[in-house]
Amino acid sequence: MFKKAWLLFINTFSISMTANSGYAMLGVIKNRFVDKYGWFTKEEMEDFIALAQSCPGPIACSSATIIGYESCGIVGALAAVFGVILPPFLMMILVTFFYTFISTNATVRIFITGMQAGVCAMLLDVVLGLFSGVQKMNKPFYYVMIILSFLYVRLTPYSIFFLAMICIAIAVVKTLLFTKKVEESL
Amino acid sequence: MIPVFEIFLNFLKIGLFAFGGAYAVIPLIEEQMVTNTKWMTFAEFSDLIAIDELTPGPIIVNSSTFIGMKLGGVPGAIAATLACMLPGMIIALTLIRLYSKYKEIPVILEAIRVLRCMSVALIFSVLIKMFMAAVFPDGFALKDVSYLSLAMVILSFFVLKKYKVNPLLVMLVCGCINLIASFII
């Protein structure tokens, strides 16, 4: 069992060091654990990834938790998650040291200011990508939710966390009403 | 120095509600760190997002480590990073146990869909703020508009969309253009 946990750690660590985005990581994870080690079938892995997407936080961590847990319990889950977060964690500690030293430098400031323009463009690309995901569901309800959430965050001083609770409550009510209707029609 | 426990609690909250992909965490960090606790300025927050893009690893892990480190040194970084992923881990473990019994849970699926809609709106809202800060660096006035930034945003978006270039490259080029421009003007 500890050998398996060690293998999990080594693999997630090396994947995390080399892959840049969460989605790029998923591809490599699939590759290692399905094709190379044969611990899971392709279908199982697809289920895991779908589940991981239902969890908050980075998809890399939630998929590592699930894969680790399914291979050797809690120890595996912890080993896999630490493998995923250790490389960016260590790296960011170094980056923070550098940042505190160079962020006040005038040249560095001009460079970072320029980068902000690129960040805006990238965020716009991200928003449009997420929006096209909503479009695929093709229901006016979800568009209304986007508009209402936007109005909430722009116009009210209340917390996003409160908004998230409202969203969850709406989802629960909607599912309950919908399933009731199905039962009635039966 | 801010107490490690307080850092832990704040990031627990952020980790719990970061639904809908890597970028969903950005508005949460902005609200919690800039608006609520005032542990960061908006300028620092904008820097952080740029740094997140420069460095590999999930944005939420990078941001937590960075902010934790700034607020409480290495212990703060450890507390923030652990806290931001703990809720996700616990929920993942609960779901995988339920999953083997029920396969599909309609309430959870619906909640995820609605939260994803919320994420679109929230990220868009932060985007507007960052855009305003980049294009109107000295406050909102038509005479203060930074045409260079505006042009860079539009061009970068075009390049990202049309040629699917690595965003990291686009940002580095933007930084260089700004440097060169500052030498010329």
The residue among A78, A102, A126 that closes a domain is A102
Provide the pLDDT for residue B81: 93
Q: Does A134 touch chain B (CB under 8 A)?
A: yes
Contact residues, chain B, for A88 at CB < 8 Å: 55-58, 61-62, 65
Q: What is the ipTM of this complex?
A: 0.82
The label of the residue with tokens 């892995």 reads A45
Provide the pLDDT for residue B101: 65
Give tens-digit pLDDT for B107-140: 877 888 888 888 889 889 989 988 888 888 776 6
Contact between residue A30 and residue B54 where contact means Cβ atoms under 8 Å apart: no
Whether B98 has a pLDDT exceeding 70, the answer reads yes
A38 in the same domain as A63: yes
Give tens-digit pLDDT for A72-91: 889 999 999 999 999 989 99
The residue among A51, A77, A102 that closes a domain is A102
Query: pLDDT confidence of B9, banded at 50, 70, 90?
Result: very high
User: What DSSP string runs through A104-137?
Assistant: TSHHHHHHHHHHHHHHHHHHHHHHHHHHHHHHHH
Residue of chain A minimizing CA distance to B112: A54
Contact residues, chain B, for A137 at CB < 8 Å: 113
A89 in the same domain as A131: no
Contact residues, chain A, for B154 at CB < 8 Å: 121
| Packing angle, helices A106-137 and B167-184, rounded to 10 | 140
A67 in the same domain as A119: no
Exposed, middle or buried: residue B102 (CB in 10 Å: 0-12, 13-18, 19+)? Answer: exposed
Q: How far is A146 from chain B (nearest CA, A)?
A: 5
Provide the pLDDT for residue A2: 79
Q: What average pLDDT does the segment A35-61 reach?
A: 83
Contact residues, chain A, for B126 at CB < 8 Å: 123
Contact between residue B52 and residue B121 where contact means Cβ atoms under 8 Å apart: no
Provide the pLDDT for residue B137: 75
A87 in the same domain as A16: yes
Contact A122 B31 (CB under 8 A): no
* H or E element that contains A157: none
How many CB atoms within 10 Å of residue B164? 9
Contact B91 A124 (CB under 8 A): no
A171 in the same domain as A125: no
The residue among A52, A79, A102 that closes a domain is A102
Whether B68 has a pLDDT exceeding 60, the answer reads yes
Residue of chain B minimizing CA distance to A161: B17
Q: Which value, in Å, is the radius of gyration of the alpha carbons in chain B?
A: 19
Provide the pLDDT for residue A69: 92
Whether A158 has a pLDDT exceeding 90, the answer reads no
A45 in the same domain as A77: yes
Nearest neighbour of A88 by CB, restricted to B58, B115, B152 = B58
A26 in the same domain as A73: yes
User: What DSSP string runs through B124-148?
Assistant: HHHHHHHHHHHH-TTSS-GGG--HH
Provide the pLDDT for residue B102: 61
Contact A114 B119 (CB under 8 A): no
Percent of chain B with pLDDT over 70: 93
Residue of chain B minimizing CA distance to A85: B61
Q: What average pLDDT does the segment B84-101 reach?
A: 85
Contact B91 A62 (CB under 8 A): yes
Q: What's the predicted TM-score (pTM) here?
A: 0.83
Count structural domains, chain A: 3
Distance CA B157, CA A120 (A): 8
Q: What average pLDDT does the segment A104-120 reach?
A: 87
Averaged pLDDT score across all residues of chain B: 86
Contact B113 A85 (CB under 8 A): no
CB pairs under 8 A between A and B: 314
Provide the pLDDT for residue A38: 86
Whether A181 has a pLDDT exceeding 60, the answer reads no
Residue A123's domain spans which residues?
106-135
Distance CA B96, CA B12 (A): 21
A120 in the same domain as A83: no
A8 in the same domain as A89: yes
A87 in the same domain as A23: yes
Nearest neighbour of A62 by CB, restricted to B74, B88, B176 = B88
Whether B19 has a pLDDT exceeding 90, the answer reads no
Averaged pLDDT score across all residues of chain A: 85
Q: What average pLDDT does the segment A164-168 reach?
A: 89
Q: How far is A39 from chain B (nearest CA, A)?
A: 16
Q: How far is B2 from chain A (nearest CA, A)?
A: 17
A18 in the same domain as A53: yes
A144 in the same domain as A128: no
Q: What's the first-to-final CA gap in chain A, in angstroms?
A: 49
Residue of chain A minimizing CA distance to B95: A51
Q: How far is A174 from chain B (nearest CA, A)?
A: 8
3-class DSSP state of B109: helix
3-class DSSP state of B72: helix
Give tens-digit pLDDT for A13-46: 888 887 666 667 777 888 888 888 888 888 888 8
What number of CA atoms fall less than 13 Å from residue B48's CA on the CB side? 26
